[in-house]
Structure 1
Amino acid sequence: MHKAGFSGGVWLNEPSRWSIDGDRLMLTTENETDFWRETYYGFVHDNGHAYLLPADDGFTALLRIRADYTANFDQAGLMLYLDDSHWLKCGVELTDGDRFLSVVVTNGRSDWSVCQPFRELDDFRLRMTVKDGSVLVHASRDGHTWSMLRVASFASSARYQVGPMACSPSRAGLEVAFSDFSIGPASTEPLHAEM
């Protein structure tokens, strides 16, 4: 299994403005869009934008993301989707006036973690490996040096959907360019470097 580019995807909450040009997907978010389920805030939001492609269990997805995050909770990245109660989104999120690399894992209810292994986040890459009920998420500035963001448990399935995601919970108009998207066999790199 190896797929590069965006052909064959389907929208979860299609935005009114989007285009595919070669290996680049561009979109502009609609007003007050987000993905979240219950935890702490009590609400369920499932109107964020995701362009999803099929993938069998045991894959690694790569994606490059470019955007200018200016409003609270602006976010863009990569989504793993099984159903409306089981999904994972990762990427940049602007919160409390700063940009963080963020991972939200939803297994019935959402949890949220943030970190800043690097601060240059206008143009970065994500790598997600899904295998045997686990998800490993890395981020990189250059596509060569990767920082681990999360190891998470996730619902096991023979088939998933994965692809670019963007939301703007406090406004409309976040413009995002996604590129260098691929789905291939699960990475065999060790989780930890040998000491």
Structure 2
Amino acid sequence: MEFDPLEVIESAKSANVTKRLPWLNPAVAITVALLATFMGICKVKDDNIVQAMQQAQADKLDNWQFYQARNIREEIAKSTLAQLRLQALAAPVKLQVAFDAQIRAYEGLAKDQNQKKNELKAQAEKDQSTYDALNFKDDQFDLSDAAIAIAISLLAVTSLTQLPWLFVMALFPSGFGVLMGLAGLIGWTIHPDVLIKLLS
């Protein structure tokens, strides 16, 4: 028995297995094009945010390292100051002026290191706040990317199966993805913490 592909096609047409809707494929194509364009715009912004996050993280680490260095310098100055004060008690009167000058110098050094250390701590905490704010936006763009990728997958299956209900179903992750992308672009505070914690 010979296999005739034309007979299979004709029998499928006659059985009305796949009923094509003339509006469905153009609607899918337009939706995919719009989503891909929006996703590309969000990707550019997200990449810039990731770079800024990396810079904020590097700045924070640098400032904490400088903070530790200033802390060590302050402790050394305080230790030297304590030794000078003890030595000054037993020193002859003619050396008291020299000891007093050194004590004042180390008091100034310890105070200076303490002030600079506190400035570095404040800057490191500010860098952490910057990182957290940027991470908030990065989460929004990540959710946008994921939702739009799911939507595009559903739209591809819609085009193959010609099921209009699948097209409608694809609009839900599309809408959520666009909402999260706009939140990241415009600065809205929409941040589904439960979903982000689940995915992180």
TM-score, normalised with respect to structure 1: 0.19
Q: Which has the higher strand share?
A: 1
Question: Which structure carries more relative contact order (alpha carbon 8 Å, separation 6+)?
Answer: 1
